[in-house]
Amino acid sequence: MSNLVRYIHNQVVADLKHKMVLIGGPRQVGKTTFALSLLKPPSIEHPAYLNWDDSEDKRLIKSSTLPMQEPLIVLDEIHKYKNWRNLIKGFYDKKRLSHQFLITGSARLDHYSKGGDSLLGRYHFFRLHPLTVGELKMQSNSEIQDLLTFGGFPDPFFRAEEVFAKRWRRERLRRVLQEDLRDLENVREISLLESLLDLLPKTVGSGLSYQSLAQEVEVDIKTVQKWVSIFDNLYLTFRISPFFAPKLRLVKKAQRLYFWDWGGLENSGAKFENLVASQLIKFCHFVEDTEGDRMELKYIRDIDGREIDFIVVKNRKPIFAVECKVGERAASPHLYYFKERTQIPYFYQVHLGKNHFSPEKGIEVIPYLKFCEQLKLP
């Protein structure tokens, strides 16, 4: 892992020359490791690295005693401080000509504005994602199986031991719910949130029914919707919305939910679909964060049950669609149906087999490895 250069590296280094850089992402996705890789030597003992969770570092930050002898200053988890935006704004406005600032945090730095002045115009924001086929430049399906088994978080993936992965997953979830949730949300019903979270894996690959979930957890629908939004904000889950096309009778409201850590899912089909969803949302976020285009990941389904798992939309225009099949199969009839009736230019049916063919122009049945390589996905 020490030799792995993360996919955002070059753009972050370039952006630091002009503005602050904020990096958000799930707990233990590798934000601190990435930030330290920009320091020489890359160590948590480096004087330029300050972590809000460390009492001495917290004292230095609150007293504005920064290591001004260092050209790059890394502030980790500082969003837990109520007035973090004003504090960082002050640091940056005074020292931006002589210093670079990198801010990292496990919760959504773009969401939690716990008071303070806006930092608008002073920073570039990046979302760091788990490891994926594209970033790891995988060459075989056996490597993909490891990624499916252990998930894309660096610790369990590189350790590659199932018992370790299960222990890691349980401990990480406990810390997210007991520490991150406590720090950032005013929620008291932790046990009920856990009950809701336990129900969500079975919804992967199908529409979210907030009413059904509310009945099972025995709370009202608005509470379930709020709690699922909290899971999104804590980088446990993400949701996609249905794609709209004129003259088609499409599902318009039901969202679909996926996990940032797909390694804990049990159903093989849902796990593969979640892996693909994670690769595609990573691509969307990377393009948004580095090029400024508006990117969206959606799905399409009509009221008769015809559907395609994912539609990638760029600046409000669909650029390609993806259907997931674990095994090799003929192209789904739904690809032909929506190709004839929408403006989507390319349709891919990805699988974990070896055969690659195109039954007609604009439709490809393609191994997932080849798909990631062909589209140069991060």
CATH number for the domain spanning 69: value is 3.40.50.300
**Are residues 47 and 32 part of one domain?**
yes
- Establish if 96 belongs to a structural domain: yes
- Establish if 41 belongs to a structural domain: yes
HEC states along the chain?
Answer: CCCCCCCCHHHHHHHCCCCEEEEECCCCCCHHHHHHHCCCCCCCCCCCEEECCCHHHHHHHHCCCCCCCCCEEEEECHHHCCCHHHHHHHHHHHHCCCCEEEEEECCCCCCCCCCCCCCCCCEEEEECCCCCHHHHCCCCHHHHHHHHHHCCCHHHHHHCCHHHHHHHHHHHHHHHHHHHHHHHCCCCCHHHHHHHHHHHHHHCCCECCHHHHHHHHCCCHHHHHHHHHHHHHCCCEEEEEECCCCCCCECCCCCEEEECCHHHCCCHHHHHHHHHHHHHHHHHHHHHHHHCCCEEEEEEEECCCCEEEEEEEECCEEEEEEEECCCCCCCCHHHHHHHHHCCCCCEEEEECCCCCEEEECCEEEEEHHHHHHHCCCC
- Establish if 261 belongs to a structural domain: yes
**Are residues 274 and 186 part of one domain?**
yes
Residue ending a domain, among 127, 144, 161, is: 127
Residue ending a domain, among 127, 146, 174, is: 127
What pTM was estimated for this model as a whole? 0.94
**pLDDT class of 119 with cuts at 50, 70, 90:** confident
**Are residues 207 and 119 part of one domain?**
no
**Are residues 189 and 302 part of one domain?**
yes
**pLDDT class of 114 with cuts at 50, 70, 90:** very low
**Are residues 137 and 123 part of one domain?**
no
**Are residues 181 and 288 part of one domain?**
yes
**Are residues 239 and 355 part of one domain?**
yes
Domain that holds residue 163: 133-374
**Are residues 155 and 111 part of one domain?**
no
340-353 pLDDT, tens digit per residue, is 999 999 999 999 99
Of 67-76, 98-107, 263-272, 285-294, which gets the smallest average pLDDT? Answer: 98-107
172-211 pLDDT, tens digit per residue, is 999 998 888 876 666 778 889 999 999 999 999 888 999 9
Residue ending a domain, among 97, 127, 157, is: 127
Number of domain units in the chain = 2
